[in-house]
Chain A
C-alpha cells in the first residue's frame, strides 16, 4: 500500500550531481515501506489462515489446519494477524489525519500528489485502454496512477469491510446489541466474499500490475528499497518527474542506491510473498471451482 501523499524527505541528500553513475530518487519513506511490509505479511497470514476456513471442506484445508496445529491455532493466527493489521491501519489513518487536518499539509486530499481520484484518472484509464488496443498514445502518469489509487482504496475499503465484519463475528454478542439479527448472518457472507475478492485481486491483479508486468518484472523493488532509478522514474511517472524538475524540487528527492543486503533481503522476502500468494491463488481457484 502506498501513502496518500508524496513523500517529501526533510533532509537533502548530499550527492554529486555531475557524477556519471545512475541517480536514484526516493518514492516511499521508511514508514511507508514498513507499512507495506506489515500489510503484506499480515495479509498473507490472514489469507493462509482464512482460506482453510472458507474452503474448509477442500482436500488441503484440513491438512493445512493440522499442519499449523489444528483449527485452534489457525483461528489464533488469524486473529493475531488481524489485530496487527488493524493497528497498522489505525496508525496510517492517524498519520493521514495529522498531516492532512492537523498540519494542513498540501496535496493530501487533492491535487496531483493525492491518493484521491480525480478527473485525470478517469481520462487516464480510458486513454490507457485505448493505448492497449493501439488506438491512442500512452497516457503520462503523475505520482500515483489510477490503478495504484484503485489498489489503495480497494485495500482501504476492504480493511473497513473485512475488519468490521470480522470483529462483528469475533465479538458477536456485543455487536448484537446494535445490529439486527440477520446482520449476524450477513457478516460471515460479507467477510468471506470480501476476503475472497481481496485475495484474488492481490494475488493476481496486484501482483501482475505492480510486480510481474514486463516493465517491472520480476518485482518492482521501489516499495522495498524506497528508491528507484532515474530512468525508471522518468519512464513510469513522467509527469511527476517533469513537475519536480520544473518546480526545482527534483534534487530534494535524490536518494542513495539501496545497499546490496537490503536489495537481496527484500528480494527474497518479496519472492517468498509472491510464491505464497500464487500458491494460495491456485488452491483458492481449485477449491472455488470445485464447490
Chain B
C-alpha cells in the first residue's frame, strides 16, 4: 500500500509537467506532489488515460516502471527514470509510441523489441549498409545510450554530443573493447592523446575532429570501400573539410596529383600524420618519427640523408631543429625539383637553406644534402675523399695493431724469462 502511494506521488510530476503540455516551475511541482495521494493520483491518471493524451501511457506505465529495480522474467532491468525520460528528446511521446504492442494493462510478459526504424528509417537504412549492420551487436542504444534517456546531439547530455563521441565509440574501439574481437585495433587511446583528442578533451573544442567527423555516423564504411570518407583517395577531402588550405596545397602538390591520377602508392594525409595518433607537427615526437615515413618510399634519398649531419643531429632526439624532409621540400605542396616554385629548385636554395643557415650564399647551397660518398659517378670528389680516409684508417690501424700485438708478446716473454732467471721486471 505504501509503495503504491509512493508511485502515485511520483508519477504525477512528469505526467503533469510534460503530458499536459505545461511546464510547471519546481515550486508548483512540489505543491502538486504534496497534494498527491494514491486516490487523487489514480483518478487524475484515469482522466488523462481517457483524454487520449501522450502522457497518459507514461503515467500509467511509470506506476510500475519507475521502480529502478524492476526486472523482467529474464532479469533485464525494466525500470525507467521518468524525470530523465521526460526531459529526453522522446519525452513528449507516450510509451506505446515505441512499445506498440502494449495497449493496456496487464500487458503480455514478452514485449516486442522497439524498432527505431519505424520513425528513423533513413538512419536505419544507413546503418544497415555500414560496418555496424549487425543490429544485435550494434543496437541504436550502443551509441545513443539508454533508450529512455536519449538527447539531441547538440545536447551536452547526449552520448553523441561532439565532446562525448570519442568516449562512446571508445567503449568498443579501445583496449579490450569489443572491436578487438573483430581484429580491429584499439584506436581510442591513440585518438585521445592526439592533437584532435587534446583539443576536444582539454579545450572542449566542439569543432575538433571527433570519430564521426571523419568516419560519419550511421553509414560508417570500411576504409577499403571506395565510398568511405576514410578510403585512401578520399582522405584528403575528408581532412580538407576542416583543413581547406592544406588540402589545396596538397592537391596541387606532386602527391595529391598522383593520388588524383589513381596512383595509390602516393601518400595521403594519414600516411604521414597517421589516422588517430595525430601529433602537432612541430612537436619533437612528430619530427622524430616522420622522416622514416618519407623513407618508406624514397629509400635512396633517405639512405643518403642518413649520411648527413642533418640526420646525425636529428636522430639523437632532444635537438630537433635540424632539417627533415619537409623543411626543405615542403610538407603539403611538394613539387619536383625542376618546378620553379619548389623550395629546392636551384633558384630558391639560398632562401630555403637560409631559413636555418644565416648567411647562406650561392656557394654554400652547392652543398648536397643527398650526396652519396659511395657513388663514384655521382659524387667523384666525395668518393675519393672517403676512399682516402678509409685507406688511411685501415692502414694505420692494421700496421699498429700487428706492431702492438707482437710487441706485447715479445715483452711479456722477456719479462717471464727474466723473472725465471731471478731478474727484475725491467732488464
Contact = CB atoms under 8 A, between A and B. Distances in A.
A151 B18 CA distance: 98
Contacts of A53: 309, 312-313, 316
A193 B386 contact: yes
Interface residues of A, number: 57
A67 B313 CA distance: 15
A62 B316 CA distance: 5
Contact of B366 (A56, A184, A232): A184
A213 B407 contact: yes
B363 A181 contact: yes
Given A71-B319, A189-B382, A182 B407 contact: no
Interface stretch (A33-41, A94-102, A114-122, A170-178): A170-178
B401 interface: yes
Contacts of B366: 176, 180-182, 184
B379 interface: yes
B411 A196 contact: no
Contact of A75 (B319, B379, B409, B425): B319
Given A184-B367, A208-B408, A190 B316 contact: no
Interface residues of B, number: 52
A56 B363 CA distance: 28
Contact of A182 (B364, B368, B393): B368
A65 B316 contact: yes
A131 interface: yes
A197 B393 contact: yes
A278 interface: no
B404 A209 contact: yes
Contact of A52 (B316, B371, B403): B316
A74 interface: yes
Contact of A129 (B306, B313, B319, B403): B403
A72 to B, nearest CB: 4
Interface in B390-404: 390, 392-393, 396-397, 400-401, 403-404
B277 interface: no
A159 B90 CA distance: 84
B372 to A, nearest CB: 10
A189 B316 contact: no
B404 A197 contact: no
Given A56-B315, A70-B318, A71-B313, A193 B382 contact: no
Interface stretch (A79-87, A198-206, A240-248, A266-274): A198-206
A209 B318 contact: no
A258 interface: no
A176 B360 CA distance: 8
A259 interface: no
Contacts of A189: 373, 382, 385-386, 389
A208 B407 CA distance: 10
B306 A172 contact: no
Contacts of B368: 181-182, 185
Contacts of A129: 403, 406
B382 A231 contact: no
Contacts, number: 155
A132 B364 contact: no
Interface string B399-425: 011011011111110010000000011
Contacts of B385: 186, 189-190
A173 B381 contact: no
B317 A65 contact: yes
A204 B389 contact: no
Contacts of B393: 193, 196-197, 200
Given A181-B367, A231-B426, A132 B386 contact: no
A194 B361 CA distance: 28
Contacts of B364: 172-173, 176, 184
A169 interface: yes
Contacts of A71: 313, 316-319
B30 interface: no
A133 B371 CA distance: 46
Given A69-B318, A71-B313, A176-B364, 15 more contacts: A54-B312, A56-B316, A62-B317, A70-B316, A71-B317, A75-B313, A129-B406, A132-B403, A132-B409, A173-B357, A182-B371, A183-B381, A189-B373, A205-B397, A213-B408
Interface of B: 306, 308-309, 311-319, 357-361, 363-368, 371, 373, 379, 381-382, 385-386, 389-390, 392-393, 396-397, 400-401, 403-404, 406-412, 415, 424-427
14 contacts: A53-B309, A65-B316, A71-B317, A71-B318, A75-B313, A133-B410, A173-B360, A182-B366, A183-B381, A184-B364, A197-B397, A205-B401, A213-B408, A213-B411
